[in-house]
């Protein structure tokens, strides 16, 4: 690796002691940064220098660093996961920036994602939405044969596309309304399209939307910023699908249309 | 909370109301433009004045008109409620300007809608209110010779200030006396500032429709490989181009005529 291409950057990083503290931007120099480093490795370098100086390192979320876990975040120069399409911050490389550039790094901003410290936010609102209905109830019994239920290939593919959502929250971060509808609709869709998801299909969508509202996320206005920023390219079609299921559940579905003996 | 409230107070329920009232208002645009094209007919306002009288005196239209006012109110109030909720969803904003790709119109529906609401208030007080509830509007008498089908018009002063319309025939001449809204339109559209305001408002209609029409279908959950391109085509060419151009042409043409 040549050192000739190494870059010197100025970072404007949001620093905040804890959820209740008032935060502010602090400017750091990142010097001798290789263009082959990932964005998180660049932050590691900066943090090492901070630790050596006895300062508190910058806190940011990360885990797999392979772009599949949904843990990393960061709002970089006005875009979640930085300037590149369809990747997470850990897959963003410093060659996407140029020498001497000033990079502004902020945490996800949403009332439902409070800052824990610096750039790390609490995204457990997503977990609660999942727990409200993002599952199928499987009773015990014999293991069914793998291919006993035929599923059209296009449906299986579309369900899988929705299931690729890693729950990072970039959709909320990008949305001008801090709406979580792309996330929720992906989690609704991945099960609504498959046979195993059918028994709970209409109660699921109602429960998950109710929890989403409870968490205080905003309302979708179809600007499509979420779709453009999603590292997994989850499409806006999921939101239309969720709306359709929700209105069906509320207005038309048999299981919700009448009083039932079970009292449900 | 009742089931009804649960449905329409939810985020998706509020969006549903926005979409349905919005689409209803879209249909009104077509009807309104169709009727107002009478302004372009060269008949000294006869067709337009009779049409205006019909609109305000035909009961089914009056019922639809009240639904329309209700739709405007509900659409505006829900927009305000949703905007407040959306702002609250992000109490601390970003320092860096958002660079996520999204159309200008989709990000400025609130601004565009506010311009439109202001326009509707001014537009309705100048024409609808003046026509129905004030005595500011004069009258015209149209005499059509039924033998030659030629029409002449003169200003008419009725005996009663509450006079609306009369149709009679004397000596093979049809006499129609009606409120002269056309003269008020022509008067308003001879004012350059007024014309500029109308043209700006129609620009706002265009951008509001560019996003709103197709967005309402998405909200309703009606997205399909086959008809979504048709919806986008209609939203763009009919609602964001043809209709605003048609409306904007009225003040512009009348202003140019007033210069002669």
Phi-psi region of A78 (alpha: psi -120 to 50; beta: other; left: phi over 0): left
Residues B148 and B47 in one domain: no
Asked whether residue B61 is domain-assigned, the answer is: yes
Q: Are B102 and A225 in contact (CB under 8 A)?
A: yes
Q: Please answer whether residues A118 and A59 qualify as being in contact, where contact means their C-beta atoms are separated by less than 8 angstroms.
A: yes
CB contact residues (below 8 A), chain B span 1-30, against chain A? 3, 6-7, 10-16
CATH number at residue B249: 1.20.1300.10
Contact B86 A246 (CB under 8 A): no
Percent of chain B with pLDDT over 70: 100
- Report the candidate in B23, B20, B16, B14 with the shortest Cα–Cα distance to residue B81: B14
B20 located within any domain: yes
* Strand-pair partners of A105: A13, A76
Average the pLDDT over A192-201 and give the result.
94
Tokens linked to A97: 């920036």
- Residues B127-168 pLDDT 10s: 998 998 888 889 999 988 888 888 888 888 888 878 888 898
C-alpha B167/C-alpha B175 separation (Å) is: 6
Residue A77 φ/ψ, nearest 5 degrees: 50, 45
**Which alpha helices (H) appear in chain A, and where do they start and end?**
39-52, 124-133, 153-163, 170-174, 181-192, 201-215, 225-229, 237-251, 254-257
| pLDDT attached to residue B2 | 74
pLDDT value at B86 more than 80? yes
End-to-end CA distance of chain B: 64
d(CA B222, CA A235): 15
Compute the mean pLDDT over every residue in chain B, rounded to the nearest whole number. 93
Q: Which of A16, A77, A188, A222 to mutate to test the interface with B (most CBs of B within 10 A)?
A: A222
Instruction: State phi, psi for A13 to the nearest 5 degrees.
Output: -110, 135
Q: How many CB atoms lie within 10 A of CB B248?
A: 19
Contact A162, A193 (CB under 8 A): yes
CB A1 within 8 A of CB A95: no
Integer-rounded Cα Rg, in Å, for chain A is 21
Q: Let me know the angle formed at the C-alpha of B210 by B193 and A231, rounded to the nearest 5 degrees.
A: 135
Number of domains chain B is built from: 2
For residue A261, the model assigns a pLDDT of 61
Its sign, for the CA torsion A251, A254, A255, A261, is: positive
Whether the Cβ atoms of residue B202 and residue B211 lie closer than 8 Å to each other? no
Residue B144 is part of which domain span? 138-179
Region A53-59 average pLDDT = 97
Same domain, B162 and B221: no
pLDDT for residue A258 is more than 80: no
Total length of chain A: 264
Rounded CA-CA distance A39/A61 in Å is: 12
Please check whether residues B80 and B123 belong to one and the same domain: yes
What is the fold, at CATH topology level, of the domain defined by A123-257?
Fumarate Reductase Iron-sulfur Protein; Chain B, domain 2 (1.10.1060)
B99 falls within a domain: no
The Cα-based distances of B7 to A130, B28, B77, B104, B222 in angstroms read 20, 27, 17, 31, 19
**Does B13 contact A250 at a Cβ distance shorter than 8 Å?**
yes
Exposure b/e, A152-183, CB count within 10 A at least 16 = b: eeeeeebbebbbebbbbbbbbbbbbbbbbbbb
Which of the listed residues B126, B147, B179 is the one where a domain comes to its end?
A: B179
How many helices (H) and strands (E) in chain A? 9, 7
Note whether A243 contacts B: Cβ–Cβ < 8 A: yes
Between the two ends of chain A, the Cα-to-Cα distance in Å is 66
Cβ contact (<8 Å) for B89 and A79?
no
Q: What's the pLDDT tens digit per position in B181-199?
A: 999 999 999 999 999 999 9
Do B203 and B190 belong to one domain? yes
Please report whether residue B97 resides in a domain.
Answer: no
* B144 and B76 housed in the same domain: no
Based on the fold, state whether residues B186 and B153 are members of the same structural domain. Answer: no
Q: Which of A9-13, A226-230, B97-101 has the lowest mean pLDDT?
A: B97-101
B216 and B163 in a common domain: no
Task: Indicate whether B48 and B159 sit together in one domain.
Answer: no
A7-116 belongs to CATH 3.10.20.30: yes
Determine the distance in angstroms separating the CA of A168 from the nearest CA of chain B, rounded to an integer: 16
- E strand or H helix at B137, and its extent? none
Q: What is the pLDDT of residue B149?
A: 84
Q: Are residues B73 and B193 in the same domain?
A: yes
Tell whether B146 and B227 lie within a shared domain.
Answer: no
Does any domain span residue B242? yes
Cβ–Cβ gap A79/B100 under 8 Å: yes
Answer with the one of B179, B202, B237 that is the final residue of a domain.
B179
Report the residue from A78, A109, A242 with minimal CB separation from B90: A109
Report yes or no on B16 lying in a domain. yes
Alpha-carbon distance A224 to A236, whole Å? 7
Delimit the domains of chain A by residue range: 7-116, 123-257
Tell me, yes or no, whether B124 and B241 share the same domain: yes
Q: Specify if B96 maps to a domain.
A: no
Hey, how many other C-beta atoms are within 10 angstroms of the C-beta on A135? 13
CB within 8 Å of B81: residues ≥ 6 apart: B14
pTM of the model: 0.93
- Tell which residue, A157, A159, A154, has the closest CA to residue A198: A159
Distances (CA, A) of B131 to A231, B135, B137, B164: 57, 8, 7, 10
CB A172 within 8 A of CB A180: yes
């Amino acid at each position: 690796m040549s050192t000739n291409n190494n870059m010197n950057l100025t970072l404007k990083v949001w620093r905040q002691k804890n959820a209740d503290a008032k935060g502010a931007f602090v400017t750091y120099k990142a010097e001798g940064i290789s263009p082959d480093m990932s964005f998180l490795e660049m932050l590691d370098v900066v943090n090492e220098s901070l630790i050596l100086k006895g300062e508190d390192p910058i806190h940011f979320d990360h885990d797999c660093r392979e772009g599949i876990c949904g843990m990393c975040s960061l709002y970089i120069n006005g875009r979640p996961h930085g300037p590149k399409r369809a990747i997470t911050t850990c897959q963003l490389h410093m060659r996407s920036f140029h020498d001497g550039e000033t990079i502004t790094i902020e945490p996800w901003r949403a009332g439902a994602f409070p800052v824990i410290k610096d750039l790390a936010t609490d995204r457990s609102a997503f977990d609660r939405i999942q727990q409200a209905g993002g599952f199928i109830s499987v009773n015990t019994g014999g293991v069914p044969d793998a291919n006993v239920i035929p599923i059209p290939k296009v449906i299986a593919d579309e369900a899988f596309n929705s299931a690729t959502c890693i729950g990072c929250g970039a959709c909320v971060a990008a949305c001008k309304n801090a709406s979580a509808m792309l996330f929720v609709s992906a989690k609704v869709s991945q099960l609504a399209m498959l046979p195993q998801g059918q028994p709970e299909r209409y109660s699921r969508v109602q429960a998950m939307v109710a929890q989403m509202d409870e968490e205080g996320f905003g309302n979708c206005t179809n600007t499509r910023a979420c779709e453009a920023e999603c590292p997994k390219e989850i499409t806006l079609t999921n939101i239309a699908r969720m709306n359709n299921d929700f209105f069906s559940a509320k207005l038309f579905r048999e299981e919700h249309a009448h009083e039932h003996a079970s009292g449900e | 909370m009742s089931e009804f409230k649960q449905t329409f107070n939810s985020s998706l329920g509020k969006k549903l109301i926005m979409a349905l009232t919005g689409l209803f208002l879209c249909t009104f645009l077509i009807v309104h433009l169709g009727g107002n094209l009478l302004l372009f007919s060269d008949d000294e306002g006869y067709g337009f004045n009779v049409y205006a009288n019909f609109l305000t005196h035909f009961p089914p239209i009056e019922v639809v008109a009240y639904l329309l006012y209700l739709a405007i109110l509900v659409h505006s109030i829900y927009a305000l409620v949703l905007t407040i909720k959306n702002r609250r969803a992000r109490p601390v904003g970003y320092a860096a300007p958002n660079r996520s790709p999204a159309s200008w119109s989709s990000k400025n529906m609130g601004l565009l809608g506010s311009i439109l609401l202001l326009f509707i208030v001014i537009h309705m007080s100048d024409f609808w209110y003046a026509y129905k509830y004030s005595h500011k509007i004069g009258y015209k008498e149209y005499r059509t010779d039924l033998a030659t089908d030629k029409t002449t018009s003169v200003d008419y002063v009725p005996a009663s200030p509450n006079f609306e319309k009369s149709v009679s025939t004397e000596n093979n001449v049809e006499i129609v006396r009606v409120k002269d809204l056309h003269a008020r339109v022509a008067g308003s559209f001879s004012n350059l500032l007024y014309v500029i305001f109308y043209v700006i408002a129609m620009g706002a209609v265009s951008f509001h429709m560019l996003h709103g029409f197709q967005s309402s279908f998405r909200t309703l959950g009606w997205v399909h490989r086959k008809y979504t391109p048709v919806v986008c085509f209609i939203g763009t060419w009919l609602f964001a181009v043809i209709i605003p151009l048609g409306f904007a042409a009225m003040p512009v043409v009348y202003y140019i005529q007033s210069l002669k």
